[in-house]
Amino acid sequence: MSDIEIAQQAKMQPIIGLAKEQYGIDAEHLDPFGHYKAKISLEYINSLTDKKDGKLILVTAISPTPAGEGKTTTTVGLGDAMNRLDKKTIICLREPSLGPCFGVKGGAAGGGYSQVVPMEDINLHFTGDFHAIGVAHNLLSALIDNHINHGNVLDIDPRRIQWKRVVDMNDRALRHIVIGMGGPANGYLREDGYDIVVASEVMAILCLATDRADLKERLGRIVIGYKSDRVTPVYARDLNAQGAMAALLKDAIKPNLVQTLENNIAIIHGGPFANIAHGCNTVTATKTALKLADYVVTEAGFGADLGAEKFIDIKCRMSGLKPSAVVLVATIRALKFHGNVAKEDLNTENLAAIEQGFVNLERHYHNITQHYGLPCVVCINHFTFDTDAEIALLQQKCADLGATCIVSKHWATGSAGAETLAQAVIDIVDNREPGFTYVYDENISLWEKIETIATKLYGASKVTANAKVKAHLAEWNADYGKFPICMAKTQMSFSTNPNDKGAPTGHTVEIREVKLANGAGFIVAIAGDIMTMPGLPKVPAAERIDIDDDGRITGLF
């Protein structure tokens, strides 16, 4: 059966009763969205402050490939398996974006017998969080142009407006547009463009905000552009935008409760891109889960060089979260891909390619254990066409590395297939105090932070940038020097070239642009060709998706 067919056969339990049964949450603290989704109130979350935190486990992966590695599937399978072993566990995931859902990626709710449900709802609109974020973002866009149209008292330079518009769809035609056409009645003529919602700073702000007051303060800090003197920033608070924006996000800030196929509670909340933004679910969701459960399994986007680094250096740095261990997801076919095997040949046994591609896993493991200072379990996410010889080779190479390596079959058999993985993780986190090391010290310069990430984690020999980029960073050091860096680069490689497989070394990382995300509280350093508005492929996933007369959706994943 397909993933969606498995999900549609799930025997879900009403979420209100499940939350009460498993975590003692009374119905009055939940806002239901139908029978199987609910938002949990901030007032209830605040009442948990004095409770002891559970142990936090991060799931990350080797560098992604077109074949997919199953990071979300592993997160769900691990969480279910820990509950199967009578360990009170909640999983925390990001919300899927509609753009990738209809593009190349498809749905993002796990797979096989390790999924969160209702799968269709989670992938299509869910509880409206992304809609609210998009509207809040576009309200600020509208207020900017309205202010200019009515006299521009703030002296905003229309040529230096940094704030685009957003839509939660892959639409390359909107990357660069001209607005205000049709005469003075339609506003001021200027260039503009669209990003996808998950690239919005409002998304990043929602995911890092700790409460409504912090959310509103961060929204007010957004730099929308500059005055005609070219140096004086204009903030969202100058337009009195933060109150209305926060009002639009009054429900979106509340975490969403759903369940796994095995009826274990899961929290899905927020979803910033991992190559453009910091790629983690909300701080509120993670902290709530830590107060409710003894163990929390969460994920960070893409490979450990992007999502895990940002989880450590941005999310943990800002929130005080302390992970106890990391699970590094790898697949036989992904390692063969990094060993230069073509996608169409990945199902054929190839031991030499695994030998060659193993360097990718090795570097990620080294980064996690040496630079993040965290114990790491390697999870081989099993596929039916993996051969015994390939698995044995990978296990031997992991053993030579000193790594615990577990073959997990959660996709095929759910929690039963991940019990060994769960026990290995439990054995680690129960026998160490939570702790880790940042990749860089917050007191070094912004440029030094970029250099540290590129050389330590990516294997680069040097970092370059033009004079304009370096001037921006030097200028920002005075007021924003302690901000962490959010590297925006391809997820497909340690380098900035997506075609560089394995573990390239000696390459140059060129920073072509830097952006101040003042509300989020980090500096975005863009390396390589990164799209903040993706396009659809030649044959988009949308062409496979349909709905019948009974309302049954097909082709979603």
73 is catalytic: yes
Contacting residues for 504 by C-beta, under 8 A, at least 6 apart: 459, 493, 494, 495, 497
Look-up: residue for tokens 């129960």? 430
71 a catalytic residue: yes
Verify whether residue 274 is a known catalytic residue. Answer: yes
Structure tokens at 291: 């107060």
Helix (H, G, I), strand (E, B) or coil at 307: helix
Catalytic residue among 302, 358, 436, 494, which? 302
SS (H, E, C) 338-349: HCCCCHHHCCCC
Q: Which residues of 16-34 are buried (b: 16+ CB within 10 A; e: fewer)?
A: bebbeebbebeeebbeebe
Catalytic residue among 71, 287, 317, 336: 71
Instruction: Give the chain's end-to-end CA distance (angstroms, integer).
Output: 11
From the candidates 55, 94, 315, 333, give the one annotated as an active-site residue: 94
Helices assigned H by DSSP within 124-208: 129-149, 201-208
Helix intervals (H) in 402-525: 410-413, 419-429, 446-452, 467-480
Cα distances (Å, whole numbers) of residue 25 to 132, 265, 399: 26, 12, 44
Out of 274, 277, 403, 465, pick the active-site residue: 274
Helix (H) or strand (E) holding 538: none
520 catalytic? Reply is: no
Q: Which of 20, 88, 105, 160 is catalytic?
A: 105
| Region at 507 (left for phi over 0; alpha for psi -120 to 50; beta for the rest) | beta
Let me know if 302 is a catalytic residue: yes
Query: Does residue 118 have a cis peptide bond before it, meaning omega lies within 30 degrees of 0?
Result: yes
Among 163, 383, 494, 522, the active-site one is 383
Q: What is the number of other CB atoms lying within 10 angstroms of the CB of residue 319?
A: 16
Catalogue the active-site residues. 71, 73, 94, 105, 274, 302, 383, 411
